[in-house]
Amino acid sequence: MTSALPPGFKQLPIAVWSSVAVIATPLCVSILNGKPYFMLAYDPFISKWSQYWRFLIIQLQFQNQSEIALACVLIMMKLKGLERVLGSLKIFKIIILLYIYNLIAIFLISFTFYKVFEWDLFIPSGPFGILFGFYFAYNKFIPNIYVARLDFSNFANFRPFGETMCVDINDKFLGYLGFLLLLIDEGIPSFILCSIGYFMGYLYFHELLPFTDSSLNFIDPLYHKLTKEQTSIPIVNSSNVTNNGSSLSTGARDANTNTNARSNPNQPITGDVDEEYEEDDDYDREGGSREDTPARTLGQQVFDTFNR
């Protein structure tokens, strides 16, 4: 298994659908003039008008364009790797579970803030919690590919922090930056929501929550039915991942949940698949030798480096 992600969204249906949903939902809501329904604060929506349904829909769409762009970039560049690690079906179930846990948490926080602290917390619309739940998994399951050390020792004589002036930047740096922007995007409310989301992620991936993805097994047939038509080639043998990747023991323990393997039952699941893949590594997708591929430009190399 290579450490680099394949380009695009190949074999990652959930990443595709979540990216599309992040963009398409706000568009549809805007067209249908439904933006006012994605506002939530305990007073007056709950206390006066009892509009509890707002809790159900508040995580479905971001209201601001910058948040949409940020979420999309994070899913496309960073979080899609999680689907490869955990499997599509499992990711799908985790999204549902994180949605439910965050929903409960938002309700409790909103209620507590209003009743105890007499603070009518404005809940910003968007899946902040879900994204930060996955941020925990991203940190936990995705290893660093490289670390770049920027040495400023000889840059200037001014050394306020001692002799070594080095900054370490790894491949997750852009991801951290994106999550930081999301964290402070709506001020204190978004900070609270993101923190809750991260905490929920922590609890979930440490199996401290009552329901895990196995409790949603009843949706498996439906999922397989919906994704039946998609042809997929097993790039990764799920059992290998389970055995080899010690750090993935929690996420990928249930080998049966790996869709890539299950969605195409006719495809033999053997350990040879990895070898084949690695052999194919020297060839591009059209079957030609890599010698034919033109050398990457410097800009392309820099872009590729930070794009991982």
Partner 1 sequence: MDSQLRFFFFMLLFLWIMSSNPNPEEKYPSYIDKPEILKHYKESMNISRNALLSDYNEGYGNISGFHLSYQDAVDNKTSKLYPIYELNHHFIEDEKYSILPNFISRQAANIWNSEDHIVDLPSNRNDSEEAHDGVKYNTGAYPLNITGFLKGNFKKSKLENHSLAPINITIPHYLRKLYEYRFSESQRKRNEQNNNDGFDDGNDDDSFYTAEYPFDDEVTRVGNFTEDNGSIRISIFNANPIEDESTNVSKHKINGTTPLSFSIKLNNAAETDEHRLSFSGVYHQKTGNLVVASNSAKFNGFYALPHLQLQDGADYEAAKWILFNEANKTDIDDIKFQEIESLVDSSNECEYIGYFHMESTNLTREELQKIDYELINPVGRPHKNVPDLKLTKGLLYSPNCAILLEVGESVGLRDQIYEDGLRNVILVGSIVIFLQILVLIRQMSHTNTPSTLSKLSFWTIAIINMADGSLSVVSLLCTMFFSDLYIQFVVCAFLAFSCSAIYEMKYGIQIYCTQINERTTSWRTMLQGITLDDAATANNNETINNGAEIGNPEATAVPADTNNNTNTPVPPPQTQFTGPADEQSIGAELYTRHFFSMLVFLFVLLNVITWPKRGRQIFEYIILTIFNSYWIPQIYRNTLRGSRSSFTWEFVLCTSFLRLIPIIYIESFANPFEHHTDMKFVLFLVIWLLLQIGLLFAQEILGPRFFLQDKYLPKVYDYHPVITKGDLESGFNFDREELISDGSSSSNEDSRTLTYVTDCAICMQKLSVPILNNSDNLDNGNLENSSSSLLPNSTKTAISKNASNLIARRKYMVTPCNHIFHTECLEQWMVYKLQCPVCRNSLPPC
Give residues in contact with partner 1 (CB under 8 A): 30-33, 36-37, 39, 44-45, 49, 51, 54
Closest approach of partner 1 to the CB of residue 45, in Å: 8
> Which of 31/298 has CB closer to partner 1?
31
Closest approach of partner 1 to the CB of residue 38, in Å: 9
Taking CA 179 as the corner, what is the angle to CA 177 and CA 185, rounded to the nearest 5 degrees?
A: 100
> Which of 49/146 has CB closer to partner 1?
49
> Which of 27/167 has CB closer to partner 1?
27
Question: In whole angstroms, what is the distance from residue 81 CA to residue 91 CA?
Answer: 11
The number of residues making up the chain comes to 308
Of 198, 200, 202, 204, whose CA–CA distance to 179 is shortest?
A: 198
| 80, 9 contact by CB (below 8 A) | yes
271, with CB counted inside 10 A (0-12, 13-18, 19+), is exposed
207: left (phi over 0), alpha (psi -120 to 50) or beta: left
For 121, residues 6+ apart whose C-beta sits below 8 A from its C-beta are 41, 42, 109, 110, 113, 114, 189, 192
Closest approach of partner 1 to the CB of residue 304, in Å: 34
The tokens for 111 are: 């209620």
> Which of 50/157 has CB closer to partner 1?
50
H or E element: which one contains 304?
helix 298-307
The tokens for 70 are: 């940020």
Closest approach of partner 1 to the CB of residue 303, in Å: 32
Question: In whole angstroms, what is the distance from residue 54 CA to residue 41 CA?
Answer: 9
> Which of 35/206 has CB closer to partner 1?
35
Question: In whole angstroms, what is the distance from residue 206 CA to residue 85 CA?
Answer: 17
- What's the DSSP call for residue 167? E
> Which of 32/298 has CB closer to partner 1?
32
Closest approach of partner 1 to the CB of residue 44, in Å: 7
Orientation of helix 188-205 relative to helix 173-184, angle to 10°: 130
Report the sign of the C-alpha dihedral through residues 27, 29, 33, 36, in that order. negative
> Which of 35/159 has CB closer to partner 1?
35
The residue type found at 58 is I
> Which of 126/201 has CB closer to partner 1?
126
Closest approach of partner 1 to the CB of residue 43, in Å: 12
Closest approach of partner 1 to the CB of residue 40, in Å: 10
